Structure 1
Amino acid sequence: MCRHLAYLGPPRPLADVLTEPAHSLYAQSFAPRLQADGRVNADGFGVGWYPPEDGAGPVRYRRAVPIWADANLPVLAGLLHSGAVLAAVRSASPGTSLDEAAVAPYALGRWLFSHNGEVQGWESLPHDSEEELSAAELLSMEARSDSALLWVMIARRLTAGEPAAEALAEVVRRTRGARPLARLNLLLTDGHAIAAVRHGDSLWYRQAGDQVTVASEPVPGEPDWQEIPDRSLLLTTQRTAEIAPL
């Protein structure tokens, strides 16, 4: 399992999103409160952000070390600003690779993606003729992991022009049809909107003024956090939010 978050709003230091809040993503790496499986998230971390310049990004910074072990992050997080961020701390599933290429966020064009959960037996996940992945698509997988496979399946739909929410919902439907016990909490953003799926673990969101945050765990004492129902899809911008059952 992992913990992750996405933020849209006024540009602010990455530290305001990652490390400064009470029970921040940084704190969730070693003391998660709502995590269904695993006690720490020490197998790497990643941050993707869109620089304030129009059309820039996304940029990624990923490491295969615990977030607390990276001496560069506090300085970078204090200096870099963004109005759109997706970040994750990782607890690797058995049988997946442990290098930084396996750490979210994954990227394609303006898209950033993260998966919190596990797909058991992902190496032999059956595909029908419509879903059969080409050799080129399989070779494009950044890492040996269930998350990387899900991303290839989602990215092919985005490339074909499917809306983000439809791409996530269809991949979740097909995956849970083959692996009913799969845990599939997903975050996807293009820097303007966030599409998220809760399927098997905690996921919350908060809209406040002109900003929105979607996260595995809420900030204690901060008002207006709302829990996303299990097996639901959230589509949100800075000022709008729509939740639908999967």
Structure 2
Amino acid sequence: MCRWIAYSGTPVLLSQVLFEPSHSLIDQSLHSRMGVETTNGDGFGIGWYADESVATPAVVRDVGPAWNNRNLREVAHHVRSGLFFAHIRAATGTAVQQSNCHPFRHGRWLWMHNGMINDFRLLRRDLAVAVDPALYPDIEGSTDSELMFFLALTFGLTDDPPGAVARMAAFVERTGHSHGVQHPLQMTVAVADGERVWAFRHSSEGRSRSLFYSTRVETLRALHPDAAFLQEVSDDTRLVVSEPLGDLPGAWNEVPENSYGVVQPGQDAFHAFRPDLEQDVIRG
């Protein structure tokens, strides 16, 4: 599968999150502890929001492994952002190519995914024809992850992210069941619009891939007053990660099964995530 990080809060150099923690995403690209594969070397990507004067987030992706990419290290040590995504890929049947690396971008929106649509090759056509014809030409790659993004866009992501992702998940599951696939969907997803981050953990069989969120910064400061990083960031700073970045006691909490969280200044919240398999598809 894959590993990913979503960061929201005080603008920091990307390197402080991607390289410096003891079990950083770069370390996880070689030594994942909780992923299906130990090594995630089928490409990487980072996406970040600069400021409001820039219409879209920046995205850098490559097919090489993250652990020895000089360009990634160069960018990470010079780019500062208050909202960014990072993803390392372990391919699940589609080609190792730049257009298949996460995160995916459409306008102001970023999307990344860990998991898979089971028997995707059987379901791909039925899923693809449901994408809004106006959006379809913007699909660049061949992954299930990008197709999930464009289905969510079709089903109203820009107006109602939780509802659109639920409609996407339900549509994938119904399509899978129609083809005899017992457990069609496995997903942890992050999506952002430049101001907020939504993170989803769900699977058809109720055994979703790992996902964690960071404890509130003010609580961590009290627990670890000597941790320099905690003194530099605001109380609103949050991370959502596929697996913890280190072993700091009290720093990480598991995202509940079949739930989604919203990260935004002053109003973080968790909600149940229950795709309605009986609901008809509603386009946005």
TM-score exceeds 0.5: yes
Aligned to 1:204: 212
Alignment check: 8 A CA contact 1:9 1:210 kept: yes
Task: Please tell me whether residue 185 in structure 1 is matched to residue 188 in structure 2.
Answer: yes
1:229 is aligned, of 256, 262, 270, to 256
Alignment check: 8 A CA contact 2:14 2:77 kept: yes
Q: Percent identity?
A: 30
Aligned to 1:22: 22
Aligned to 2:148: 150
Alignment check: 8 A CA contact 1:201 1:230 kept: no
The letter for the 2-side match of 1:204 is F
Aligned to 2:268: 241
CA distance in 2, matches of 1:72, 1:144: 25
**Secondary structure at the residue paired with 1:192?**
coil
Aligned to 2:279: none
Alignment check: 8 A CA contact 2:155 2:168 kept: no
Aligned to 1:13: 13
Task: Please tell me whether residue 62 in structure 1 is matched to residue 61 in structure 2.
Answer: yes
The letter for the 1-side match of 2:26 is Y
TM-score, L = length of structure 1: 0.90
Aligned to 1:174: 171
- Which range moves more in the overlay, 68-77 or 85-94? 68-77
CA distance in 2, matches of 1:54, 1:139: 27
- Which range moves more in the overlay, 199-208 or 101-110? 199-208
Aligned pairs for 1:74-153 (under 5 A) are: 74-94=73-93, 96-125=94-123, 132-134=130-132, 137-153=135-151
**Secondary structure at the residue paired with 1:62?**
strand
Aligned to 1:34: 34
CA distance in 1, matches of 2:110, 2:20: 23
Shift of 1:177: 3.3
The letter for the 2-side match of 1:109 is G
TM-score, L = length of structure 2: 0.78
Alignment check: 8 A CA contact 2:198 2:262 kept: yes
- Which range moves more in the overlay, 75-84 or 162-171? 162-171
The letter for the 1-side match of 2:161 is A
CA distance in 2, matches of 1:114, 1:63: 15
**Secondary structure at the residue paired with 2:155?**
helix
The letter for the 2-side match of 1:219 is L
Gaps of 5+ in 1: none
1:213 is aligned, of 233, 239, 245, to 239
CA distance in 2, matches of 1:26, 1:238: 28
Cα RMSD after superposing both structures: 2.1
CA distance in 2, matches of 1:186, 1:23: 21
Shift of 1:135: 5.1
The letter for the 2-side match of 1:153 is L
CA distance in 1, matches of 2:32, 2:266: 28
**Secondary structure at the residue paired with 2:70?**
coil
More strand by share: 1
Shift of 1:229: 1.2
The letter for the 1-side match of 2:78 is L
Alignment check: 8 A CA contact 1:165 1:235 kept: no
Alignment check: 8 A CA contact 1:212 1:238 kept: no
- Which range moves more in the overlay, 37-46 or 220-229? 220-229
Post-superposition Cα deviations, 1:85-124, rounded to whole Å, max 9, x if no partner, equal: 0110000011x12111101100011110001001122233
CA distance in 2, matches of 1:191, 1:226: 24
CA distance in 2, matches of 1:181, 1:125: 9
Gaps of 5+ in 2: 177-182, 203-207, 218-234, 274-284
Alignment check: 8 A CA contact 1:101 1:143 kept: yes
